[in-house]
Structure 1
């Protein structure tokens, strides 16, 4: 090509290949959507509604249901001994008939002088399951308690620890965790009042979209008065 021909060709490529190309735009929002499970862990009161510990256990169940989708998750009502339901801990994850995950939930602070007394049954059960990932989730855990639990191959997580992990989750995963919590409160704990309490919080915060898009089907006998 002659010099003038090369110039015309470059102009053509610039006009047709660059200037006329559609502009690529990333999806935008007027403002960042509040991450719902992170918000619940930060601000939702789990202490003041009976039965004690049920709301927090529901959140923990939802956390692991979203975080371990490869496991079949089981749980039971609070104040039910795990031995009565043939389960290790309050939340357990199975792969077939093998226990892969065992979680003990305590909606209270754990200090080192309490570890042996309030976790004795859980720690004893773990002796027979050395390959199970064992976790204790509590309102808070002091460092001495963490060190003690590490000696038994138990991971200690506080509510703040859960929140720090959830910060990295995408929006659909956070929504899935809250659906899991609602499932626990409605189908396992069978407390309509607790379902309404959690859903009410989500609605008040304007973060219920994508979580409660259809009416909740309650278990038989579960109602707002339960």
Structure 2
């Protein structure tokens, strides 16, 4: 899907989910009449049901209304990931960024990325492209956002003891090679994630989730509110 919302050739995605393996339906069915009023509601969803992967608060809302509401309470961190080899983990990074309500996601390198892992959450998350790490660094500098690289590099500071800034860019490297040398140079700090087994590194999508949750544990109450609210009637 392009940044305008038009699918790339060969890509087809939908907000709707298939029924669960045991036959249970996902989401909610048609809303009982009389329907509630409000410009934030989608009449087609009210009539046909809402099977999207959204929290109850947003049942029957239009996509535009959901994004507008999210924009009122997004957190102060951005997420950036290098994309030089069409990394399949980027979709899961976007999905996690949506779950933790990141301000924006930045794709650095190749414009196209595999959206399947995002499970259409990119429709609710602001995604920006940069053709180089230098472009991302300029974006961050203009907004006073320190870039915090996440990688198990020599000299990296353990994220478990590092005080993540309230406003920052969390930068992740390509699956496999990790942060490029250029990304390392543009990072104000590089944080490592403690590991105790035999593998040298963990999945980039998992590393992103750990880092975002580390930020939320410190600053989560400063921006948004939990999404576990009752559905709008």
TM-score bin (small chain)? under 0.3
| TM-score (norm: length of structure 2) | 0.26
